[in-house]
């Protein structure tokens, strides 16, 4: 409270109550409309321009599972919103992929690279992230789309298959995030 400089004990001491009753409240002066206020901007950008600015993307990204359908669509969306460069990490990249060629053609000013990366190999991930940061200038975004689905009934799934699924879908995300954070 303004004006009260000592700690008030609400235990019933009459002096404390008197201090509350007799305190001085701050004064406030309201505007009377005679002062010049800065002009209020009534013009707004068109909604699509406001949204474009609000959702603009800057920097560079690594996308795991980058040459799969989800990874390619994620890359396209980020590039459409202003991403400068993207490294598509994939276990089986093909340089002559028509989808990769289309991405490069649609975004000629962006740096787009595909790299063979096994997300379950910590050393390989670390090395690939460092190479990418050097090549693109920075890594500002990580989107992890690498993943597998085990379509075998749980009673028929082997421990090896289960571990492989966890390694790719979970450990791979952790290893990539850790490497980018470093």
Question: Is 95 within the bounds of a domain?
Answer: yes
Question: Is 42 within the bounds of a domain?
Answer: no
Cα(133)–Cα(89) distance, integer angstroms = 13
Number of domains in the chain: 1
Q: Which residues contact 34 (CB under 8 A, 6 or more apart)?
A: none
> What is the domain extent for residue 130?
55-181
pLDDT of residue 1: 42
Q: Which helix (H) or strand (E) holds 16?
A: helix 14-21
Question: Is 29 within the bounds of a domain?
Answer: no
Question: Is 22 within the bounds of a domain?
Answer: no
Between strands 111-116 and 85-90, the pairing is: parallel
Cα(70)–Cα(94) distance, integer angstroms = 16
Question: Is 103 within the bounds of a domain?
Answer: yes
Give the Å distances, CA to CA, from 39 to 29, 35, 36, 60, 151: 21, 12, 9, 39, 64
Please tell me whether residue 89 adopts helix, strand or coil conformation.
strand
Please tell me whether residue 109 adopts helix, strand or coil conformation.
coil
Question: Is 68 within the bounds of a domain?
Answer: yes
CATH classification at residue 95? 3.40.50.720
Question: Is 31 within the bounds of a domain?
Answer: no
Question: Is 44 within the bounds of a domain?
Answer: no
Q: Digits of tens for pLDDT over the chain (182 positions)?
A: 444 444 444 555 667 777 767 777 677 677 777 777 666 666 777 888 787 788 889 999 999 999 999 999 999 999 999 999 999 999 998 878 899 999 999 999 999 999 999 999 999 999 999 999 999 999 999 999 999 998 999 999 999 999 999 999 999 999 999 999 99
Cα(105)–Cα(107) distance, integer angstroms = 6
């Amino acid at each position: 409270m303004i004006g009260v400089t000592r700690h008030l004990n609400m235990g019933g001491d009459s002096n404390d109550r008197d201090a509350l009753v007799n305190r001085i409240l701050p004064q406030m002066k309201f505007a009377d409309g005679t002062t010049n206020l800065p002009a209020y901007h009534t013009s707004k950008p068109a909604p699509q321009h406001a949204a474009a600015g609000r959702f603009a993307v800057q920097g560079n990204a690594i996308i795991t599972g980058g040459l799969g359908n989800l990874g390619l669509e994620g890359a396209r969306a980020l590039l459409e919103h202003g991403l400068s460069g993207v490294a598509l990490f994939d276990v089986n990249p093909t340089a002559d992929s028509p989808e990769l060629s289309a991405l490069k053609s649609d975004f000629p000013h962006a740096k787009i690279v595909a790299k063979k990366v096994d997300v379950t190999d910590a050393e390989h991930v670390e090395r690939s992230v460092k190479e990418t940061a050097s090549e693109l200038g920075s890594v500002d975004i990580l989107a992890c789309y690498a993943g597998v689905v085990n379509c075998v009934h749980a009673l028929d799934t082997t421990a090896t298959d289960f571990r492989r699924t966890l390694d790719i879908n979970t450990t791979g995300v952790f290893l990539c995030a850790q490497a980018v954070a470093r």
